[in-house]
Amino acid sequence: MDDFKLAPNPHFHGVSGPLLLVIMDGVGLYRGRAEGYPANAVDLAATPNLDRLLAAAPVRLKLEAHGPAVGLPDEGDMGNSEVGHNAMGAGRIFAQGAKLVADAIESGAIFEGAAWRRMVSEVRASGGALHLLGLVSDGNVHSHIDHVVALAERAAAEGIKRIRLHALADGRDVDPVSFHLYVERLERVFRDLEGVGCDAAIASGGGRMTITMDRYNANWEMVRLGWETHVLGRGRGFADAMEAITTLRREQPGIIDQDLPPFVIHDREGRPLGRIEDGDGVVFFNFRGDRAIEISRAFTEESFERFDRVRWPRVTYAGMMEYDGDLGIPPLYLVQPPAISKTVSEYLVHNGVAQLATAETQKFGHVTYFWNGNNSEKFDQELEDWIEVPSDVIPFENAPAMKAHEVCRVVLEGLEADRYRFLRVNFANGDMVGHTGVLEAAIEAMETVDSCLGLLEEKIATVGGTMIVTADHGNLDMMLEVDRKTGEIKLGTDGIPVVKTSHTLSPVPWLLTGRDAEGFEANPAVERPGLGNVAATLLLLLGFQPPADYLPPLIVRRS
């Protein structure tokens, strides 16, 4: 197609061997022991290969990976793997879920849309309940509590008489023990709704890593357990959410919110307060897609075989956004997702470039679906190979190496095959283990990634290739919470440092090494390098002129 035809670069015909992009998920650049911070797993780990590259790679940069640099509303918004891979693959910055939803609520457009109008109309006509299901926090990575409040208040104002909230605890993108604070706020909001004749209450809940929010088909048992909790009303009963949280924390000292067991709220007669029934409406209010697809499938697919639903209530179901554009999941959604087209992979296949993408299950969608602009299908069956290494279903702190060595082996074999001009790989360890808050495990995870980095660097030298090493956002570079104003480690009420399980605002490394790396230097025209500059850089290294609407490349030829 002429629209995708790239002009050759007149100054550089492309690297002489394969080009490998290594994405160390969750590996940011933050201060370490020498700067007074004792809990940076990257700093504490033995990483001779990364250390060497940080000190001596021919091109060494720091990239912005949060806030507006990846399409999020402001500088205080942490980046994440989805927006990071979107930015790297698209070569431009698109407004992402958090901003799109916030803008739609502020303007009122979300409530004028056909999906919301249908939801309200059908629930009012049936006399059923409106169920709001999703992650309750202000982490702004998967969802935001402000969006939940706005939906509930608007529904009540439009005559919905019964609202039930199924609240998933975060503790991953926010402080690890903070769920009760969000519950308290929502219970205040719900009490206020009584004044307009709306019966609103929390009906069920549980930790995000325990129920409902599985992704990439890694553990459908989580989704089944969520279905039983939210839809069937089966599970341990409590009088209210605060009783559930207090009891579960007392019974399991040290448990963090993301791991809370499921709970069901019962009425005074001991019956589930908010089972989902025929004629009800359900809004899954997460805006991010990866952990929303599976539960959406359970609600919307008639021929569903992943688990026994026991019963399938006929409800009006809507996602906050469309979670998979190719597969149309879900069919009904409140806010249009960013329309990302002409990604770097699409350009490459139209210019005859063979590619390999690989990762283990936990991040496979990031180097495929998100990299390709939220598209789950290949652009070319012949020129693209996607290889997924199945992740183990095991707590990541118990196996910090995860499947890094197996993923590394796929890349090594791909380089030996002499088939691929461009290869990309994601190592999930830094993010998935960083989220556990276990420093020792995070150190081991980083050391595992570094060992793979060394093997890949050796192979790149053998095949005469060029390698880029970068990350999509920070995580294990900060394993204890830091007060943003003072820079000091935050202490809990017990005087103990607060464990950090969320992403960071840290920049990420961008390192260029290999046969042709010496011929490049940082592009002086790029004042604030970010992940969005990666795609144009790849095209430059492959011998093409980037499209005019792409952000400029990070490097230029040495004069």
CB 375 within 8 A of CB 431: no
Residue 39 has pLDDT above 80, yes or no: yes
Q: What is the structure's pLDDT at 262?
A: 98
Q: What is the structure's pLDDT at 289?
A: 84
Alpha helices, DSSP H, located in 339-497:
344-350, 361-365, 404-417, 429-434, 439-463
Catalytic hit among 16, 81, 204, 296: 81
The residue-averaged pLDDT of 126-136 equals 98
Alpha helices, DSSP H, located in 113-219:
114-126, 145-157, 179-193
Tokens 């399991």 appear where?
A: 252
Model confidence pLDDT, tens digit, residues 403-452: 999 999 999 999 999 899 999 999 999 999 999 999 999 999 999 999 99
Tokens 């197996």 appear where?
A: 406
Model confidence pLDDT, tens digit, residues 334-373: 998 778 999 999 999 999 999 999 999 999 999 999 999 9
pLDDT band at 502 (very low <50, low <70, confident <90, very high): confident
Of the candidates 53, 42, 88, the residue with the CA atom closest to the CA atom of residue 461: 53
Q: What is the structure's pLDDT at 545?
A: 97
HSE-CB of 190 using CA atoms within 13 angstroms: 19
DSSP 8-state assignment for residue 391: P
Q: What is the structure's pLDDT at 323?
A: 84
User: Does residue 204 carry a catalytic annotation?
Assistant: no
Fold of the 98-335 domain = 3.40.1450
pLDDT band at 35 (very low <50, low <70, confident <90, very high): very high
Single-letter amino acid, residue 34 = A
Q: What is the structure's pLDDT at 1?
A: 55
Residue 215 has pLDDT above 90, yes or no: no
Q: What is the structure's pLDDT at 326?
A: 56
Q: Which residues contact 133 (CB under 8 A, 6 or more apart)?
A: 165, 166, 168, 212, 230, 282, 283, 284, 285, 295
Report the 10 Å Cβ neighbour count for 34.
Answer: 7
Q: Which residues contact 167 (CB under 8 A, 6 or more apart)?
A: 136, 179, 182, 183, 186, 202, 204, 205, 241
Model confidence pLDDT, tens digit, residues 323-345: 876 577 899 999 987 789 999 99
Domain range annotation of the chain = 2-95+340-557, 98-335
pLDDT band at 282 (very low <50, low <70, confident <90, very high): very high
Give yes or no on whether 2-95+340-557 and 98-335 have one common fold: no
User: What tokens appear for 112 in the block?
Assistant: 């004028």
Rounded to an integer, what distance in angstroms lies between the CA atom of residue 402 and that of residue 392?
A: 7
The residue-averaged pLDDT of 15-19 equals 96
Phi, psi at 508, each rounded to 5°: -120, 155
Residue 205 has pLDDT above 70, yes or no: yes
Rounded to an integer, what distance in angstroms lies between the CA atom of residue 167 and that of residue 183?
A: 8
Model confidence pLDDT, tens digit, residues 50-69: 999 999 999 999 999 998 99
Q: What is the structure's pLDDT at 82?
A: 87
CATH number of 2-95+340-557: 3.40.720.10
Tokens 């001596």 appear where?
A: 56
Residue 201 has pLDDT above 60, yes or no: yes
Q: Is 99 helix (H, G, I), strand (E, B) or coil?
A: helix
Report the 10 Å Cβ neighbour count for 67.
Answer: 18
Q: What is the structure's pLDDT at 483?
A: 87
Rounded to an integer, what distance in angstroms lies between the CA atom of residue 302 and that of residue 218?
A: 22
